[in-house]
Each structure stands twice: as C-alpha cells, then as structure tokens.
C-alpha cells in the first residue's frame, strides 16, 4: 500500500528534524480531523502534524488550545471561521507560498464539512500547494454507527435551512430520499425538526444523537413521533446529529 508523504513515517512528513514544508518551494496545508468530544479520539499522525507545522488555523481557538494543551503541543494558533475566512485567506495563502506549512482544524471533527476550510484548500490547490488530509473523527460516521439504522448507503445534507419554504422543501426531500439521511441540527431547533418530520411521517425510524463521545452522550431511537415525545420532556442541550431511515422503495404498479 502506498503512503503519502505524511503517512506512517516516524521521521515526520518532511524527514527527521524538519518541519513540514521547510526548505524550497511552497509548504503543505494539512486538513486535520480532531476529536468531536473525547480527547482520546485523536490519531498519532494528527498529533505529529500539529506538533510540526508552523501554525494552526482553527475555527474555535479555545477548543483547539484545550486539545493542544492536553498533549503538550505549543504551536501558534490563529482563528479562521465563517466570519473572517475571506479576509484571512490571502495571508494564510502567502505564508504557504513562502514555504511555511499549516494545519487547518475545525472546532470538532473533520474540517471543511459544514465548517470553514473548503475555500482555503481550494485556493491552495489552485496555487500548486499540496493539501494533505489527516483523517480521523467524524460526527457523521459516528452517528451512523450509533443509530442502528442501515448505513450501507447514506447521504449527508448538512444543516437544514433555518425557516420558511426552504426548510419545508429540505425536510420533504430528506424524507423522500431512498438512502439513509444524516443532518446536523442546532439545539434550539431540534424539537422543531422533530415536530416537522413527525407531522410528515410519524412512523419514520430516526436516531437523534446528542453529545457524541462526550460524558453525557445520548442516542434516542424510535419513530419520529416517539422520539419527539421523549425529547419534548426536557430542554435540548449540546450538539445534535440526526439519522433518518431511508424512504421505502416504491414498487412499480
């Protein structure tokens, strides 16, 4: 099996005693997956890359510093989120072109999936800068495995629109999908999500995953109407990932 430059080598991505991207030419942008909750869910490769890069661009610097502190990693951390990514992208690009290497992380899980990162990675590739993925934790995959719903075929739809006709169309399409559907939802909209889906299909199987891998992890499984009744008894808190069973296949007349 072939390995990338950063794969499996005890010497590090650029050889022993050097940081990734040091030397001639542009550096490397690493897209690094970080724990979605439990800090032990981080790969050895991710820790090594985070120790060796020149800087780390993080969606939430506070959460990233908790991870770095847990493993004694001392690297410069810069904020890079939805509200400043257009403004900060040119500076990161210049540093990469100048030979520095950086790691891009989200607040939890894999960057550039419903989180900032895609724009920087695309710009880097267009400039001939290598982008290497350091895979690891994913809320999408963790929720699929925890749901008990078939996951041999699935689609991830991100966050539903907040309101209006766009939200109604989104939910209707999700319930018509013939693959298992995974979505994210905010705590202040999760009950509305369940109310709306239950009104459209009260018997659809669903799993609502809360605080995955954390101390108060909770998986609520059942029909949309049953899970709505269960979760309506308390104020929703935490991060939610929802898994909807596929729509039944229609038989030809």
Q: Could you tell me which of 42, 50, 40, 41 has the C-alpha nearest to residue 20?
A: 50
**CA distance linking residue 185 with residue 168, whole number of Å:** 14
Give Cα separations from 34 to 62, 141, 160 (angstroms).
13, 14, 24
Ordered by where they begin, the domains of the chain are: 28-134 (3.40.1010.10), 139-244 (3.30.950.10)
CB 71 within 8 A of CB 40: no
Instruction: State both tokens at 32.
Output: 């690094």
Q: Which helix (H) or strand (E) holds 240?
A: strand 240-244
**pTM score over 0.85:** no
For 173-226, the DSSP string reads: HHHH-SSEEEEEE-TTTHHHHHHHHHHH-TT-EEEEEESTTSTT-EEEEEEHHH
Neighbours of 133 (CB within 10 A): 16
CB 244 within 8 A of CB 67: no
The pLDDT profile of the chain, 253 residues, written as one tens digit per residue, is 333 344 444 344 443 334 555 556 899 999 999 999 999 999 999 999 999 999 999 999 999 999 999 999 999 999 999 888 899 999 999 999 999 999 999 988 988 887 778 899 999 999 999 999 999 999 999 999 999 999 999 999 999 999 999 999 999 999 999 999 999 999 999 999 999 999 999 999 999 999 999 999 999 999 999 999 999 998 889 889 999 999 988 765 4
CB 35 within 8 A of CB 41: yes
């Amino acid at each position: 099996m072939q390995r990338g430059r950063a794969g499996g080598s005890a010497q590090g991505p650029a050889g022993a005693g050097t940081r990734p991207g040091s030397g001639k030419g542009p550096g490397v942008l690493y897209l690094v997956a970080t724990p979605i909750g439990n800090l032990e869910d981080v790969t050895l490769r991710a820790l090594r890359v985070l120790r060796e890069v020149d800087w780390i661009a993080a969606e939430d610097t506070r959460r990233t510093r908790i991870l770095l502190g847990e493993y004694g990693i001392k690297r410069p951390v810069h904020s890079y989120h939805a509200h400043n990514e257009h403004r900060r992208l040119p500076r990161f690009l210049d540093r990469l072109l100048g030979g520095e290497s950086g790691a891009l992380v989200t607040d939890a899980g894999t960057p550039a999936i419903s989180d900032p990162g895609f724009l920087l990675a695309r710009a880097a590739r267009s400039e001939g800068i290598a982008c290497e993925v350091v895979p690891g934790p994913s809320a999408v995959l963790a929720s699929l495995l925890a749901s008990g719903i078939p996951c041999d075929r699935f689609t991830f739809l991100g966050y539903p629109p907040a309101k209006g006709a766009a939200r109604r169309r989104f939910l209707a399409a999700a319930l018509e999908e013939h693959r298992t559907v995974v979505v994210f939802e905010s705590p202040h909209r999760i009950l509305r999500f369940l109310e709306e889906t239950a009104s459209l299909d009260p018997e659809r199987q669903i799993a609502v995953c809360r605080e995955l891998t954390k101390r108060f992890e909770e998986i609520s499984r059942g029909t949309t109407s049953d899970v709505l009744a269960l979760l309506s008894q308390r104020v929703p808190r935490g991060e939610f990932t929802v898994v909807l069973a596929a729509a039944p296949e229609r038989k030809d007349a």
